[in-house]
Amino acid sequence: MLRFLSPLLALTALAFPGPLARPATAQDGTYDMDCAVILCMAGGFPAVAECDRAYDYMIDRITDHPPKSPFGVCSMADGRSYDGYDLDYAIGYRGAASSYSCPAGTRLHLEAGAPVTAFCYQTIAPVIQPNGLCVDSYRGITAATFRQFRAELTVEPGTDAEWAAPETVIETEVAPPARYETPCGGGDVAVVGGGDEGVPPAFEDCVPAWSPPATEFCDFAFPLARANLHDYDLSDPRMERVSCGPGPDGGTAMAVRQYAGAEVSLMSIGRHAFPEAMKAAEVVRLSAEFYIPSSYDWTYAGRLPLGINVGPWTSGGKTGARQSGSSIRLHVWPDNGGTLGIYSYNFDRSSSGAVDRGVTKQWGQGAAKVTARLPRDQWITVVLELALDSPGADRDAAGISLYDAAGRLIGADSSGPRLTYRRAGDDTGFTGAIFDDKLNSSAARAARNQQYYVRNWQGQACGR
């Protein structure tokens, strides 16, 4: 340290005629501060007021646009510029990987943009989201350290008074996202941020298992044109409640019709067995895209063609021992221009709507509901999810989530792990998909012909 005092005192005397705390002011007000940065950096920026100001001045320079060197010309009292130093420095750039460091065992993810995204992670795993998209999910996310500035200063190099100052390093931790996902195979960012309350649980080992074409549901053995519509002769064109053809955007879709003045009783569009991967799963997700025109009028509450069956096929309307299977169906309420939820045939429903370990209610009950208004004139994705616990554990859960055409979450709701879709002793699992269209009142008849569209059914098999 004694070796350092000589050049420090000499430089102080030349640059500042008065004490260090009261430096002289150069004509343009900057030269003295440049000298102060050299002095304070040489001393490791000691905790004195003048060095605090010098530090702030240096930060302003290195964060300028474009960045400047940590100090400029140091003019001494005799008018000469002080150049008795060697300076090696580097200014960090947030878009450069070399400006970051990560903890051992992690790697840096850096995405340039406005703003720059930088964090450290351990592994990447593909994940199937509830809306059917595949994303790469980053695991073990931690903060990256950004090195904003590094400097090595030597004053009076090559002389007896040479002094190598302590290295100056300025680093900050970059706040990492709670989760980060990108489309499988790379591309633009799909999801950044923490899980908002209401977002359905992310079972991260879901795999696509079923993706039938829309036309498959128009090719059942029984003609859909004759599907259980009361009061009409089979030759009446209004019997054609369902058909497949060009949808609103020209792609193939299934159109579901309601005719002016016609009763809309139960129409069983079909039941379709799941592939083995879904039958054996602990959690099943079933999704489809729906297009509801702005002119469509929901005349009454009822079922829409999306549902999951457990055990023997069940049509509901049964109590006690007469019910052998269970299911959830997509349900629409006419309030708020149309809201969606789950109509449930769980084994523990009751006439009061509460959970009851014996089936005391003949009809189904609501298990979850998204109260947000449905977007019109666009394809929205509806996802039903059913998670099964051990038979008889009474901790099964049903959930629903809705996404708009841009993939943004509209809303989500879940029954929570409290329902029973398998009773003690049941050795059944998931059976298949149920597609019904039904309004709950035969008196609720449309004032005009109308139709909505369905396409892109997707099934996923998940674990817990």
The pLDDT value recorded for residue 221 is 37
Looking at the chain, the domain(s) classified CATH 2.60.120.200 span 207-462
Mean pLDDT of 46-73: 91
The pLDDT value recorded for residue 190 is 32
Residue closest to 310 by CA, chosen among 344, 340, 266, 341: 344
Cβ neighbors of 217 (< 8 A, separation 6 or more) are 242, 244, 254, 269, 270, 272, 305, 435
CB 217 within 8 A of CB 254: yes
**Angle at 295 (CA atoms; ends 291, 296), nearest 5 degrees:** 60
Return d(Cα 300, Cα 395) in angstroms, integer: 32
Q: Summarize pLDDT for 237-248 with one digit per residue, the tens.
A: 555 677 788 889
Cβ neighbors of 293 (< 8 A, separation 6 or more) are 248, 376, 377, 450, 451, 452
Burial of residue 274 (CB within 10 Å: 0-12, 13-18, 19+) is buried
Has residue 204 got a pLDDT over 60?
no
CB 179 within 8 A of CB 137: yes
Has residue 146 got a pLDDT over 80?
yes
CATH T-level topology, domain 207-462:
Jelly Rolls (2.60.120)
Contacts 24+ apart (CB under 8 A), 169-174: 170/59, 171/145, 171/146, 171/147, 172/145, 172/146, 172/148, 173/143, 173/144, 173/145, 173/146, 174/100, 174/118, 174/119, 174/143, 174/144, 174/145, 174/146
Q: Summarize pLDDT for 314-342 with one digit per residue, the tens.
A: 766 666 567 889 999 999 988 888 889 99
What's this model's pTM, rounded to 2 decimal places?
0.57
Has residue 18 got a pLDDT over 60?
no
Q: Summarize pLDDT for 115-139 with one digit per residue, the tens.
A: 889 999 998 877 766 655 667 788 8
Q: Amino acid identity, residue 193?
A: G
What's the chain's average pLDDT?
A: 78
Mean pLDDT of 87-110: 89
